[in-house]
Amino acid sequence: MEFKDLLLEKEGSIACVTLNRPDRMNALSMEMLEEILRAFKELEKDEEINAVVLTGNDKAFSAGFDMDSVMNLGKTKMRSMEIVEESFLGILKFPMPVIAAVSGPALAAGFDLMVMADIRVMSEKVKVGQPEILWALTPLTDPLWKIIGMGRAKEVTMTGRIYGAQEAKEMGLANYVYPVDSYLEEAKNLARKIAAFDRNALKANKEQTHRIPGMEVEAAIRTQIWTFRNFVGSEDMSKRMTAFLESNRKK
């Protein structure tokens, strides 16, 4: 599959989608967002891929929307907004785990793109934030508030502040922080570890995380128990549990 502004590489059971507009700090054009959507649709059809790493480069994950694209939105506003929505949801609703490996700026729409991932691995050089309010624009609050809580999400969206790695880690936005020379490999290692788990269980777990936040607690517990029931006694469960018990006996 050919892309102009992306790189798509497959490494065994993981894939790496790399934003590739280094001269523009990976600013998101409509064409790039369409390519992101196309890449994730392609990966969804590949049953050998169990996890995806979404990244930029060491200097920038994404500085946000390409300003030329934003200034021209008035000409094609409806279709452009559809592209933004479809590309973001293509990551958020991707059935397998997505890990964002982030270094440098991840701002505005670049921040939102990063938040669509399930797990975020950041470098010590990261700069993240939603400065849209500074430009009389409104940022995305969801799914951010589900990750860091509504109180902190209000701070991020209402102040336009830019945060470094330590604050991102403290608020729960960064799951892990590593030096700039190792964050991407650490993200890939995490993806490989996750991808080794049962594919169906991974998919069911991610689908469950999207469903239960809006449920009443009793319905949420019931849903999770029924999902658990579907996997108890499976051939893969028996095989993995037997191997685990045998390895513990040898210790």
Question: What whole-number distance in Å separates Cα of residue 63 and Cα of residue 18?
Answer: 14
Question: What whole-number distance in Å separates Cα of residue 26 and Cα of residue 66?
Answer: 8
Q: Answer yes or no: are the C-beta atoms of 5 and 20 closer than 8 Å.
A: yes
Q: What number of other Cβ atoms are within 10 A of residue 210's Cβ?
A: 12
E-state strands within 59-207: 98-102, 105-107, 119-123, 127-129, 162-163, 176-178
ω into residue 143 within 30 of 0, thus cis? yes
Q: In the structure encoding, which two tokens stand for residue 56, read together? A: 């930029």
Instruction: State the DSSP H helix or E strand holding residue 88, giving kind and residue range, or none if neither.
Output: helix 77-92
Q: Which residues 6+ apart lie within 8 Å of 139 measured at CB?
A: 108, 111, 112, 130, 132, 133, 156, 157
- Environment class of 238 (CB within 10 Å of its CB; exposed 0-12, middle 13-18, buried 19+): exposed
Q: Answer yes or no: are the C-beta atoms of 48 and 59 closer than 8 Å.
A: no
Which of 34, 86, 132, 186 is labelled catalytic? 132
Active site residue 35: no
Kindly list the distances between the CA atom of residue 144 and the CA atoms of 60, 80, 150, 162, in Å, as whole numbers in the listed order.
20, 22, 8, 15
Residues with active-site annotation: 132
